[in-house]
Chain A
Amino acid sequence: MKYLQDIGSYFLMLKKVFGSFTKSSVLKHLILKEINDLIIGSLGIVAFISFFVGGVVAIQTALNMNNPLIPKSLIGFATRQSVILEFAPTFISIIMAGKVGSFITSSIGSMRVTEQIDALEVMGINSLNYLVFPKIVALMFYPFVIVIAMFLGILGGWVAGVYGGFSSSTAFISGLQDSFIPYQLFYAFFKTFVFAFILATVPSWQGFYMKGGALEVGKASTNSFVWTSVLIIAANYIITQLLLS
Chain B
Amino acid sequence: MIKVEDVHKSLGGEEILKGITTEFERGKTNLIIGQSGSGKTVFLKCLIGLFKPEQGRIYYEDKAIQDMDDDLQRKLREEIGMLFQGGALFDSMNIEENVMFPLRMFTKQNKTDMLARVNEVLKRVNLENVNKKFPAEISGGMQKRVSIARAIVNKPKYLFCDEPNSGLDPKTATLIDTLIQEITHEYNITTIVVTHDMNSVMEIGEKVVLLKHGKLVWQGTNQEIFKTDNEDVTNFVYSSDLFKKIREVQLKEE
* Contact of B78 with A123 in the complex, beta carbons under 8 Å: yes
Given the contacts A122-B50, A123-B78, A115 and B85 also touching, CB distance less than 8 Å: yes
Closest residue on chain A to residue B107 by CB atoms: A23
Ordered nearest first, which 10 A-B pairs have the shortest CB separation? A124-B77, A124-B74, A115-B88, A119-B88, A122-B82, A115-B84, A116-B88, A124-B78, A122-B48, A114-B86
Give 6 A-B pairs besides A114-B88, A118-B50 with Cβ atoms closer than 8 angstroms.
A116-B88, A116-B89, A116-B90, A121-B77, A123-B82, A123-B102
Q: Which of A20, A23, A121 contacts B50 (CB 8 A)?
A: A121
A69 near B: Cβ within 8 Å?
no
Q: Which residues of B contact A23 (CB under 8 A)?
A: 104-105
B91 near A: Cβ within 8 Å?
yes
A95 near B: Cβ within 8 Å?
no
Interface residues in A146-163 by Cβ distance below 8 A to B read none
Closest residue on chain B to residue A37 by CB atoms: B92
B186 near A: Cβ within 8 Å?
no
A26 near B: Cβ within 8 Å?
yes
Chain B residues engaging chain A, CB cutoff 8 angstroms: 48, 50, 70, 73-78, 80, 82, 84-86, 88-91, 101-102, 104-106, 160
Distance of A125 Cα from B106 Cα, bound (Å): 10
Per-residue CB proximity of A119-132 to B under 8 Å, as 1/0?
10111110000000
Closest residue on chain A to residue B45 by CB atoms: A118
Whole-angstrom distance between the Cβ of A44 and the nearest chain B Cβ = 21
* Contact of A20 with B82 in the complex, beta carbons under 8 Å: no
A102 near B: Cβ within 8 Å?
no
Whole-angstrom distance between the Cβ of B72 and the nearest chain A Cβ = 10
* Contact of A110 with B82 in the complex, beta carbons under 8 Å: no
Q: Which residues of A contact B78 (CB under 8 A)?
A: 123-124
* Contact of A119 with B82 in the complex, beta carbons under 8 Å: yes
* Contact of B104 with A26 in the complex, beta carbons under 8 Å: yes
Q: Which residues of B contact A114 (CB under 8 A)?
A: 86, 88, 91
- What's the tally of chain A residues with a CB closer than 8 Å to chain B? 17
Q: Which residues of A contact B89 (CB under 8 A)?
A: 116
10 A-B residue pairs with Cβ-Cβ distance under 8 Å, sorted by A, are: A26-B105, A114-B86, A115-B88, A118-B50, A118-B88, A119-B84, A122-B50, A124-B74, A124-B76, A124-B78
Distance of A122 Cα from B80 Cα, bound (Å): 7
Distance of A125 Cα from B84 Cα, bound (Å): 16
* Contact of B91 with A116 in the complex, beta carbons under 8 Å: yes
Closest residue on chain B to residue A19 by CB atoms: B70
Q: Which residues of B contact A20 (CB under 8 A)?
A: 70, 74
Closest residue on chain A to residue B84 by CB atoms: A115
Q: Which residues of B contact A110 (CB under 8 A)?
A: 91
Q: Which residues of A contact B82 (CB under 8 A)?
A: 119, 122-123
Distance of A118 Cα from B88 Cα, bound (Å): 8
Closest residue on chain B to residue A117 by CB atoms: B88
Interface residues in A94-124 by Cβ distance below 8 A to B read 110-111, 114-116, 118-119, 121-124
Distance of A125 Cα from B77 Cα, bound (Å): 9
Closest residue on chain B to residue A114 by CB atoms: B86
Whole-angstrom distance between the Cβ of A207 and the nearest chain B Cβ = 14
Whole-angstrom distance between the Cβ of B42 and the nearest chain A Cβ = 13
Distance of A20 Cα from B77 Cα, bound (Å): 14
Q: Which residues of B contact A122 (CB under 8 A)?
A: 48, 50, 77, 80, 82, 160
Closest residue on chain B to residue A23 by CB atoms: B105
Distance of A115 Cα from B143 Cα, bound (Å): 14
Q: Which residues of A contact B101 (CB under 8 A)?
A: 123
* Contact of B105 with A125 in the complex, beta carbons under 8 Å: yes
Q: Which residues of B contact A111 (CB under 8 A)?
A: 90-91
Q: Which residues of A contact B73 (CB under 8 A)?
A: 124
Q: Which residues of A contact B70 (CB under 8 A)?
A: 20
Q: Which residues of B contact A125 (CB under 8 A)?
A: 105
Distance of A114 Cα from B91 Cα, bound (Å): 10
Per-residue CB proximity of A3-38 to B under 8 Å, as 1/0?
000000000000000001011011000000000000
